Structure 1
Amino acid sequence: MPTRPRSLSAKRRRVFISMAIALGVIASLALGEVALRLYLASRGWTANCYVTSLALVTSDADAGYTLRKNVEVKSSGYHIKLNSMGLRGPEVSKTNSDDKVRIAVMGGSSVFGYLVPEGEDSCRVMEEALQQVGFDAEVINGGVNGYNITQCRHRYEKVIAPLRPDIVILYLGWNDTGFLITDTKQSELQRTPPAPSWIKRTLARSTLYGFLRFRLFPNPSPVFAPPQSPNSRVTKDGGEAFRRDYIALIESVKASGAVPVISTQLMASSQHCEGLESFLGDAPEQIAANQAIGQWVANTVRQLAIEHDLLLIDCNQIIPCNKTTLGDPIHLTQEGHRQVAQAWLQGIKPLLDRSGLNDANPIAIVEDIQ
């Protein structure tokens, strides 16, 4: 009996010590969170700047994931703003007036503007050039990082088509290279990959978590070229599926009443690229294999434009391909976005001429942007 009070007292002490430690850890984490947020605010950065990709996406029943609405991410290296419809750029009216040309661009991170700050993606550059000469036009950036052709179709049907665009530029294909070269049955592939888990997205709301997870212990640098293998080749099933997916997107655009315009992508795999071999791999065999894959994509896109009698803007061929225009195998630099916008403007000139909406001269617009 005399030892029981001492035993209970020891247990209480252990509980109190554990609680004190837990409270101390929680208080330290809370102070760290507050201090870090204050520091970022003093720099003019947003609290979510360390978790860019997690901050931008949310789940989507059709496409797997999509962009969140009303989000801003800003740091020393980038500035991204998503409007109330989950589109990069300014607000877009849900109705389209008859006297305005509304142009939408569909694609992945190359359209979104992966490497450039706010206002410097090709869509904004093209819109500003049109508006500066008095052309009543609006350009919608429909790009989402990582989107393949199937996901672009879902996004178009769900988000962009209701906005009634007049012209839709399709700048995509590279993100489907993984499907092109796999031996897995196409019917078994997941073309609408899910968003990161809700746990990760919830943790990403913590600035301290973002700093510890992505600043102190960052993920390996992303690889944007096809898998590290010199034996990768476009399979018959992969090629047929690519064409089916692309045609389905074309048909969706036509069904909405818009005019589809096909644009090849500027890629490091182009035959006329200078000094970009390292973007495609380390060994000569691997570089050659990835060049062949990229060229297959560009050639197939060109062929689809011919088969469906669509306007083709061959950015892959007409824009200089070097480190001035590309920052990696597929993503455009600021100069790259400027030159792609210029190519788009020149390419859609026949459609603008036929619109009869005003007297602005698209050729003058193109010359102005040069």
Structure 2
Amino acid sequence: MILVLLFGFEKLLGNTRFGGEENQSVRHIRLKENTPNIDKMLSPSDDIVALSDSLENKPYSFKIDQNGFIFPSTTHQQADKVIAFLGGSTTECMYVDEDKRFPALTGTLLETNSGKKINALNAGVSGNNSMHSINSLLNKIIPMNPDIAVLMHNINDLSILLHEKTYWNNNDHRSLLVTEDRSIKAMLKQLLPNTYNFAFEVKRKLLGDGNEFENADHGNKQPRLSNEKILSLFKSNLDSFIEISKANNITPVLMTQASRFTEKPDEVVMKNLQNLEAMGLSYPEYRSLFIAMNQVIRAVALDKSALLIDLNQAVPQTKEYMSDPVHFTNRGSELVAKIISEKLTPVIAH
């Protein structure tokens, strides 16, 4: 009975709108960033803990400044150098201690090594792919006048291109364009977020968890993109990132992505890849694609004379450094900060 009422109420609100037909929706470009001006203690969910084997289950400080960067960011009013880090959750480092998240720690190490004042901006956001980062570069990074922009992408691009077959999709969470709903349902979601989220949570628990890609318009209905097409689309974005950076007097840096995708995967890796069969992929095929994506990063950096930081080669593929296939532990993040700071020290010396 509760389920029927929830469905009926949601349907009614979703179809009831303010104003005429012309006012039903407005489209805009999605700036996929963490909500500015928040200060929270976040603990990993049971699902996240279950899919890892070295994640410390505790609250983590997660503070976002007024520009959507993860704290600490603009630690100096007048910095000698500004470095922006762009990527997905592996750059965001939500479940890493605040002082050990590699973007901020890189800034600290560079200050120690160089004696210069460094602002390190962490623009990593869970689920972001390279297209989201290009949008962030254009609309929020460039105005900060950074000297260096560091990009790390692989798995999120691979995921969106495997599931949606294009960067330009209608996925509720990762689309590049957003249609602003003007239904009463949408208004209530904005005005009474806690009440709306509670009702949504009840519905979710009654129906069970769903894959965010299952209800996308494209989903798995279309044939999977060829490996060549996936790599070509990814390469185009890397090229764009470098050219946009250079055009704005920003030194671009590309990083490969570290992983635990070994030839013989452990249990945690396979737990995180349970949907491979539905996509018609074996683990060796998926691993080969991930490796190829990193190789594209290396090739583009070489072709465009951009600095490359090869984390894939430098970070051990063990649970001490990554708590699941790709997310860093404290120890992993500290190692990454050390690697990056050593590579960037000569760059910031100029």
Same fold by TM-score greater than 0.5: yes
Amino acid at match of 1:192: L
Q: Map residues 77-88 of structure 1 onto 2, 5 A cutoff.
A: 77-88=59-70
Report the equivalent of 1:89. Answer: 71
Identify which of 327, 332, 345 aligns with 2:328: 332
Partner Cα separation in structure 2 for residue 236 and residue 90 of structure 1: 40
Give TM-score scaled by structure 2 length: 0.69
Could you give the per-residue CA deviations for residues 82-130 of structure 1, whole angstroms, max 9, x where no partner exists? 1111111135389765xx1111111111111132243331112112223
Cα deviation, residue 289, structure 1: 2.0
Could you give the per-residue CA deviations for residues 152-173 of structure 1, whole angstroms, max 9, x where no partner exists? 0110111111111111111112
Cα deviation, residue 132, structure 1: 4.2
Report the equivalent of 2:7. Answer: none
After superposition, the Cα gap between the structure-2 partners of 1:223 and 1:297, relative to the gap in structure 1 and judged at 3 Å, is farther
Report the equivalent of 1:121. Answer: 101
Cα deviation, residue 297, structure 1: 0.9
After superposition, the Cα gap between the structure-2 partners of 1:96 and 1:147, relative to the gap in structure 1 and judged at 3 Å, is farther
After superposition, the Cα gap between the structure-2 partners of 1:347 and 1:219, relative to the gap in structure 1 and judged at 3 Å, is farther
Could you give the per-residue CA deviations for residues 190-232 of structure 1, whole angstroms, max 9, x where no partner exists? 65164996654555445982996599779749899xx99xx97
Report the equivalent of 1:308. Answer: 304
Partner Cα separation in structure 1 for residue 168 and residue 196 of structure 2: 40
Q: Map residues 39-118 of structure 1 onto 2, 5 A cutoff.
A: 61-63=28-30, 65-75=32-42, 76-90=58-72, 92=74, 97=79, 100-118=80-98
Could you give the per-residue CA deviations for residues 2-33 of structure 1, whole angstroms, max 9, x where no partner exists? xxxxxxxxxxxxxxxxxxxxxxxxxxxxxxxx
State the SS of the aligned residue for 1:325: coil
Cα deviation, residue 340, structure 1: 1.0
CA RMSD of the aligned region, Å? 3.8
Amino acid at match of 2:243: E
In the alignment, structure 1 residue 152 sits paired with structure 2 residue 133:
yes
Partner Cα separation in structure 2 for residue 337 and residue 80 of structure 1: 16
Partner Cα separation in structure 2 for residue 80 and residue 135 of structure 1: 26
- Per mean C-alpha deviation after superposition, the further-off stretch among 285-294 and 267-276 is 267-276
Cα contact 2:269–2:324 (8 A) shared by 1? no
Cα deviation, residue 341, structure 1: 0.8
Q: Map residues 200-349 of structure 1 onto 2, 5 A cutoff.
A: 200=189, 202-206=191-195, 209=198, 213=202, 220=209, 234-269=226-261, 277-279=269-271, 281=273, 286-349=282-345
In the alignment, structure 1 residue 192 sits paired with structure 2 residue 176:
yes
Amino acid at match of 1:82: I
Partner Cα separation in structure 2 for residue 183 and residue 141 of structure 1: 27
Amino acid at match of 2:41: K
Amino acid at match of 2:317: C
After superposition, the Cα gap between the structure-2 partners of 1:91 and 1:123, relative to the gap in structure 1 and judged at 3 Å, is closer
Partner Cα separation in structure 1 for residue 208 and residue 108 of structure 2: 36
After superposition, the Cα gap between the structure-2 partners of 1:112 and 1:311, relative to the gap in structure 1 and judged at 3 Å, is same
Cα deviation, residue 138, structure 1: 1.6
Give TM-score scaled by structure 1 length: 0.66
Cα deviation, residue 63, structure 1: 3.0
Report the equivalent of 1:162. Answer: 143
Runs of 5+ unmatched residues, structure 1: 1-58, 356-370
After superposition, the Cα gap between the structure-2 partners of 1:201 and 1:295, relative to the gap in structure 1 and judged at 3 Å, is farther
Amino acid at match of 2:35: R
After superposition, the Cα gap between the structure-2 partners of 1:114 and 1:287, relative to the gap in structure 1 and judged at 3 Å, is farther
Runs of 5+ unmatched residues, structure 2: 1-25, 43-57, 181-185, 214-218
Cα contact 2:160–2:166 (8 A) shared by 1? no
